[in-house]
Structure 1
């Protein structure tokens, strides 16, 4: 998140933090807390958006240790499209253990839902629904007005995310090397941190782009970078759904994305290209820089962003759970 959004919640909402330094012991602590809490209090709804916690909550509800009227779990990635071998088996076991107990399973895209149906026959009995990730448009616009003295004075392309293989930043750097030959006034900015940073730095040196590619690290509020860029790029090889794409689209009309997840090609005014293709990514970025989308597609984009507001997201879930 760009900021500590927990601070933006209504003051009447009580937040309980689980005191732990490591991930899996924290999940166990969370389980014990919820078991105790739901036995003491009347709980209408428990929601989760992490595969390990999803599976655990589903199991606890199945064996009646978790006392809640409704359990909603949200899937965050297309596991069967990303993982193979033993890891895939482990994830499959998690799904089988817990997901059948959920009252609603939310998938971010139709592709994500379909990979369940294709790989787990039992999932056809689950109550699964596809709901596009929401975007807090007004908050993004507010964040875009913040002054940032670190913004480049030159023209630049921007991308953002963790420095991992899935994000395809190596593809983006190589694509930019092709673009940079014909445009000496254009730079590339990649926001983020991660395990592959050193590898990317070596690639930049190899391509002699040290003065053209900038990696300033983690930026608390990247929205001003998106707003003033010549073009914003999502170069991922695969994603559940790249939420950064929606943030970019809210403040910039020149967006390029690989087809790394379902539903991307349905977003108006987004320039798309295949994954793992250096030349086509370079070509798409060049086209986006040189040609602004027409007014009709820009209008359609903002209507789309308005339709996936947080309030609409919540209303959709409430209708499905409570029949409101």
Structure 2
């Protein structure tokens, strides 16, 4: 008899956790498991990449009304005499706007958002909150399930999350899954009473799929008269795109012909556009937005750069390794989980000068470039087998 698994995720927008979920779902054996997916927003670049066997659940009526925006939802709840839901809608908006840190805002507004859901009638064998915060809270508070698992894709030490809010939720989870040894260490140190239920399952990446997709056409041609650099990630503080702009500025001033392309969207876009304009890099640094298939851009680049301030375990770096690109990364906590310095990539310090120096080294030193590429060819990069770890957790 098939087991029933529910995954919960905010959306399938272009992020590492979202891509990780879609990759995982493509590896599941659907002869053994029935899989349902609940999304708080049924949107995102990866939505059309879901396996056809995955059933995406509909929203409850109250949450549909909530999602229409403050004015419309408030008026609707008042007309339906659901006064408490109208009040919670106002409180959700007020709290969201008053708390400047988005991570804390998501944590602290859950108590209001929670009111728009009922506990599910169906009981699952396993329910998985596949991203920290709301997805985990929903699984704990609203899902009937024999086993509950929370999946954390970031290094908790650097996440800015409030551990006092998370602690009672993590206490009710049967297992806590994270994506690297460094992330597991962080969770075990911050929540020592839960260290025995922490597991590591690496993000699933498939070299076969990535190689195939990388051969598709892209909507531009990279100029081989320039050094073409690609970075993939949200336009947010933690991804360090501002450092990339400043590193590009240093390289251009030192006489290098650089075209640097960033694939992603985010809250920092306007600030980054201003910085690009201020540095007069309009012909050198380009924010291309989200790309449903980023792999041709990485494949055709000369260098891949990940200038993050912190990461859990970067899927983008694994993908750049699969495409055999010379890589420069910053020395965030989990960088060494993926890159061996001067062996499979270059690890530089967390500042624009160091990032520029790492790129310059790769531009000027052909021997190092070739060595990195040859070492990547020799490395076993596929992680499809990680799905067996999930099966093991389900069976325990």
Query: TM-score when scaled to structure 1?
Result: 0.82
> Are 1:257 and 2:329 an aligned pair?
yes
The structure-2 alpha-carbon separation of the partners of 1:15 and 1:319, relative to structure 1 and needing over 3 Å to count, comes to: same
Cα displacement (A) at 1:190: 1.7
In the alignment, which residue of structure 2 is the partner of 1:63? Answer: none
Match runs of 1:231-242 below 5 Å: 231-242=303-314
Cα displacement (A) at 1:196: 2.1
State how far apart, in whole Å, the 2-side matches of 1:30 and 1:263 are.
Answer: 40
How many residue pairs were aligned?
Answer: 300
In the alignment, which residue of structure 1 is the partner of 2:377? Answer: 299
In the alignment, which residue of structure 2 is the partner of 1:286? Answer: 360
State the Cα RMSD in Å.
Answer: 2.7
Match runs of 1:221-232 below 5 Å: 221-232=293-304
- SS of residue in 2 equivalent to 1:35: coil
Q: 69, 79, 95: which one pairs with 2:156?
A: 79
Cα displacement (A) at 1:212: 1.5
> Are 1:152 and 2:222 an aligned pair?
yes
For the 8 Å contact 2:126–2:394, the answer to whether it is kept is no
Note the alpha carbon deviations across 1:67-123, whole angstroms, 9 max, x for none: 32221210122233232xxxx4xx323322211222221111222222222222322
- SS of residue in 1 equivalent to 2:52: coil
The structure-2 alpha-carbon separation of the partners of 1:12 and 1:281, relative to structure 1 and needing over 3 Å to count, comes to: closer
Q: 134, 140, 160: which one pairs with 1:58?
A: 140
State how far apart, in whole Å, the 2-side matches of 1:104 and 1:11 are.
Answer: 28
Stretch of structure 1 that moved more, 178-187 or 282-291: 178-187
State how far apart, in whole Å, the 2-side matches of 1:8 and 1:82 are.
Answer: 28
The structure-2 alpha-carbon separation of the partners of 1:263 and 1:321, relative to structure 1 and needing over 3 Å to count, comes to: farther
Unpaired runs of 5+ residues, structure 2, are 1-13, 20-43, 70-105
State how far apart, in whole Å, the 2-side matches of 1:284 and 1:110 are.
Answer: 26
For the 8 Å contact 1:31–1:57, the answer to whether it is kept is no
Match runs of 1:11-90 below 5 Å: 11-18=52-59, 20=64, 21=67, 28=114, 31-32=117-118, 35-38=120-123, 43-50=124-131, 51-59=133-141, 66-83=143-160, 88=161
Cα displacement (A) at 1:4: 4.5
The structure-2 alpha-carbon separation of the partners of 1:183 and 1:220, relative to structure 1 and needing over 3 Å to count, comes to: farther
- SS of residue in 1 equivalent to 2:377: helix
State how far apart, in whole Å, the 1-side matches of 2:53 and 2:230 are.
Answer: 38
For the 8 Å contact 2:180–2:337, the answer to whether it is kept is no
> Are 1:133 and 2:211 an aligned pair?
no
For the 8 Å contact 2:330–2:347, the answer to whether it is kept is yes
State how far apart, in whole Å, the 2-side matches of 1:169 and 1:292 are.
Answer: 23
Query: TM-score when scaled to structure 2?
Result: 0.68
> Are 1:118 and 2:189 an aligned pair?
yes
Cα displacement (A) at 1:27: 5.9
The structure-2 alpha-carbon separation of the partners of 1:13 and 1:206, relative to structure 1 and needing over 3 Å to count, comes to: closer
State how far apart, in whole Å, the 2-side matches of 1:11 and 1:197 are.
Answer: 34
For the 8 Å contact 1:57–1:98, the answer to whether it is kept is no
State how far apart, in whole Å, the 1-side matches of 2:276 and 2:286 are.
Answer: 10
Unpaired runs of 5+ residues, structure 1, are 61-65
State how far apart, in whole Å, the 2-side matches of 1:99 and 1:210 are.
Answer: 46
For the 8 Å contact 2:317–2:338, the answer to whether it is kept is no
- The higher relative CO (CA closer than 8 Å, separation ≥ 6) is in 1
State how far apart, in whole Å, the 1-side matches of 2:282 and 2:49 are.
Answer: 39
Note the alpha carbon deviations across 1:28-87, whole angstroms, 9 max, x for none: 38852x52222xxxx211111222221342345xxxxx432221210122233232xxxx
